Structure 1
Amino acid sequence: MDLSTLGGMPEADLRLEVRRLAEQLLSRRSDLLDADEKERLIKEVIDETFGMGPLEPLLNDTTVSDILINGPETVYVERNGRLERTDVTFVNDAHLTKIIQRIVSAVGRRIDETSPMVDARLADGSRVNAVIPPLALDGPLVSIRRFGGKPLGAEQLVNFGSLAPEMLEFLKACVRGRMNVLISGGTGSGKTTLLNVLSSNIPHDERVATIEDAAELQLQQPHVARMETRPANVEGTGEVKTRDLVRNALRMRPDRIVVGECRGAEALDMLQAMNTGHDGSLTTIHANTPRDAISRLEMMVGMTGFDLPIWTIRRQIASAIQIVVQAARLTGGPRKVLKISEITGMEGDVLSMHDIFVFKQTGLDENRRAQGYFMSTGIRPHCLDRLTECGVDLPTTMFDEKILRS
């Protein structure tokens, strides 16, 4: 079928036409398949023509959070924090590569032998990473991080036990009070979900600029300027990096800047933006602890090529960032906010930081899922006075040392 000859015909009409043709062909040998098998075959034809082929049922399954493909015959999914193998297969490497190209071409990306790796996204915001031969030895590799059309809300995170209500209330206050927040965590720890939840507390009368490698953020504010990086073209030119977009965002009169992930030389520009009137900015970083997050920031500032002394970098970080939120995916799959830490300044050449809320893991339950409790450390945040100045009042009893209900 050459669907391009049908011009601008609506997809709904095209689907009906493909269904009619498939039913007509099947009617010639009605003795081979029963009604259920015919309907399944017709659905597979439609999925192959208009959707993602064998992946379509997995993409429509709301219980699937990750889809991991290791060649045409091996497809795993993650449900409730656990990986399980499926019976989904592709015909061959070429079939799987065709589906990958369909995904990436829809967002202006490309993948071929000269550029065998790609980051892209689906229409619902799910993130796709693909690697094809010659880099992938046993067939194309695909990882799809599901990101549903309706983002999780703050109350849902509390209900799931990702953080305690007091922790959520404090983080909301920090966003409304224009604290600069760094969200740290490993892959799949829920950093982007947490960033979405926190960004929902940005006042609707503020202009927000977002910068991402692959657009995942789903901000609900009416005044959002969204930007996405671009890889180099076939000639090796035209690349637009996160640092370029951060610099450009400063000229767009944003009240706040949200960087989907800080991973390179853009760290210096991000810190400078936080220090020059863009209070309340948010970003994420890959790190295992708040201290590691600061160390990674120091390293990324060093990637700019400027020979800056370490104490200068640390003072810049201490002045720019007030709150570090540590997220993690624990044994068995639960995602938790492990720490909410506050940066309080410098003591000599050492950056000073203390934990305000923490999660204490006590062991594993009968399903081998991590269990524990949240607690406040008893340390009163230094930023409370600044929050009060911004019209955000929090009871000091919230920070008394105690175990929090989750």
Structure 2
Amino acid sequence: MNQNQFMRLKQQIKEKLDLSSTVSDAKLMELIEEAVFLASKEEKWTSNEIHASVKRMFDSFRGLDVLQPLIDDPSVTEIMVNGHEHIFFERRGAVEQYPYALESAEKLEDLIQMIVSKVNRIVNQSTPIVDARLQDGSRVNIVLPPASLSGPTLTIRKFPDKPLLMEDLVQMGSISVEAAEVLQALVESGYNIFIGGGTGSGKTTFLNALSGWIPAHERMITIEDSAELQIQTVPNLVRMETRNANTEGRGEISIRELIRASLRMRPNRIIVGEVRGAEALDMLAAMNTGHDGSLSTGHGNTSIDMLSRLETMVLSGASLPIEVIRKQIASALDIMVHISRMRDRSRKVTEIHEVIGIKDGEVELHPLFLFEERGNVSDSNVIGELTYTGSPLQNMHKIRMAGKSLPTWFSHNKEVCEAK
């Protein structure tokens, strides 16, 4: 069914709808099937074409129109709508252009308003930027004119129906078995871990996988801009989400406020989905006040770069001496993990560092695992693995307090290092 046929059929169905009352999905489907079957006799469509036409028409009324097939496709991870005519999607790391377009800019705006209304968000010309989510948990970012010069812009980041476990990431080659073993001991022992990486590198996916090792008896609070985490192993879980200001400029709830509120809720651990600004100060304060095992993520090019960004974030919220900020960071964070999106579009953990304190006025990082590329260098395939550096873990206090132990091979290397 081409676009002209689609628009003509849709208009016929609209004329038959009784707008004086609510039309059920069953009644709508009945009208669509009747119209499509009549058209199929003239056009001599196959049964597959009829089925596809019925679904496309139903999606245009009750789903996300031409975007719905992309939403339903599990291999698609990101959908980018740059105005109603230009739609792109990412599948297996490669970005492709979608052959279909939305009917009009008005239709795209209707879809946007439908999305934000379901999560009690407001987006308009006075507040043209908003984060939201779909019912399946997919993350949505919306930018309207005048902020977007390309017309209404919609970006949807999809997540798998079943959250990936660390075992899945090991099988995909994102992290080595050895590194996963060590991280499991660190998470269970209550080490504060910060995950850094670029946009689309898989920080949220990795954070979700790490949370699978949090002991089930602990109370956990998650704080996010738009709820994305899919934590299923901790029964005593409180999920909190920020809220934008209303049309009168009131009612905003920021990450900073939620972090402060969470401290009065007796959490064992606090997970901050992502820090971007002044809330970094509150996150570090929470980690420094007995909430061991807390986790968070942020945007950075390397672990060292992430430290600099954290300093800048804290400075945006408080005029503190840089020495004080660095002491706060060194005291709060125990482990830093960095994830990179490689040139072959794969996502891999490339650095795991221990934060061991301050040296010469700088936060000192101690490398535990580093990614080493091996074999012939090519653009199509990155060959390498996350390799243990042989360095011991300096801070064993939390491991001992939790009654845990590191893998025997890690401990053996530790003893060798100490003997030297």
TM-score by length of 2: 0.89
Match of 2:279 among 266, 269, 282: 266
Q: Which amino acid aligns with 2:294?
A: S
- Deviation of the 1:236 alpha carbon: 1.1
Where do 1:314-393 residues align within 5 Å?
A: 314-362=326-374, 368-393=380-405
Within the candidate set 255, 258, 261, 1:242 is matched to 255
User: How far off is 1:233 after superposition?
Assistant: 0.6
Amino acid at match of 1:242: I
Q: Distance in 1 between matches of 2:259 and 2:273?
A: 11
Matches for 1:46-61 after TM superposition, within 5 Å = 46-61=58-73
- Cα gap change, 1:227 to 1:2, in 2 (>3 Å): farther
Which of 158, 166, 174 is residue 162 of structure 1 equivalent to?
A: 174
Aligned to 2:309: 296
CA 1:386–1:36 in 2, change beyond 3 Å: closer, same or farther? Answer: closer
Q: Map 1:146-157; keep pairs closer than 5 Å.
A: 146-157=158-169
SS of equivalent to 2:317: coil
Q: Deviations over 1:242-283 (max 9, x none)?
A: 000000000111111000001111111111111111111000
**1:5 maps to which of 16, 21, 29:** 21
Task: Verify the 8 A CA contact 1:124 1:148 in the aligned structure 2.
Answer: no
Question: Where do 1:176-255 residues align within 5 Å?
Answer: 176-220=188-232, 221-255=234-268
Distance 2:121 2:366 in 1: 43
Runs of 4+ in 1 over 6 A off after TM superposition: 363-367
| Contact in 1 for aligned 2:221/2:240 (Cα 8 Å) | yes
- Separation in 2, partners of 1:102, 1:365: 47
- Tell me if structure 2 keeps the 8 A contact 1:82–1:332: no
SS at match of 2:383: strand
CA distance in structure 1 between the partners assigned to 2:269 and 2:353 by the alignment = 21
| Aligned match of 1:309 | 321
Gaps (5+ residues) in structure 2? 1-16, 415-420
Deviates more, 1:345-354 or 1:329-338: 345-354
2:343, 2:379 within 8 Å by CA — same for their partners in 1? no
Q: Name the CA distance, whole Å, in 2 between partners of 1:186 and 1:4.
A: 50
Is residue 80 from structure 1 mapped to residue 96 from structure 2 by the alignment?
Answer: no
Per the TM alignment, residue 369 of structure 1 is displaced from its structure 2 partner at its CA by: 3.1
Tell whether 2:35 aligns with 1:25. Answer: yes
* 1:404 aligned partner: none
Q: What is the root-mean-square deviation of aligned Cα atoms in Å?
A: 1.9
- Larger mean CA deviation between 358-367 and 87-96 belongs to 358-367
Q: For 1:300-348, what per-residue CA distance to the aligned partner results, in whole angstroms no more than 9, with x for missing partners?
A: 111123x321111111111111000001111121000000000111224
**Structure 1 counterpart of 2:297:** 284
Where do residues 30-179 of structure 1 align in structure 2 (5 Å cutoff)?
A: 30-34=41-45, 35-179=47-191
Unmatched 5+ residue regions in structure 1? 8-13, 402-406
Q: 1:27 to 1:66 in 2, by over 3 A?
A: closer
Mapped partners of 2:314, 2:37: distance in 1: 66
What's the secondary structure of 1:188's corresponding residue?
coil
Task: Give the partner amino acid of 1:170.
Answer: V
Which of 387, 392, 395 matches 2:407? Answer: 395
CA deviation after TM superposition for structure 1 residue 202, in Å: 0.9
- Is the 2:196–2:306 Cα contact (8 Å) retained in structure 1? yes
TM-score, normalised with respect to structure 1: 0.92
Separation of aligned partners in 2, 1:292 and 1:39 = 52
1:132 deviation in Å?
2.0
CA contact (8 A) 2:259 2:282 kept: yes
Whole-Å separation in 1 of the counterparts to 2:254 and 2:131: 14
CA distance in 2, matches of 1:23, 1:137: 39
State how far apart, in whole Å, the 2-side matches of 1:247 and 1:189 are.
Answer: 29
Aligned 8 A contact 1:66 1:143 in 2 = yes
CA offset at residue 100 of structure 1? 1.5
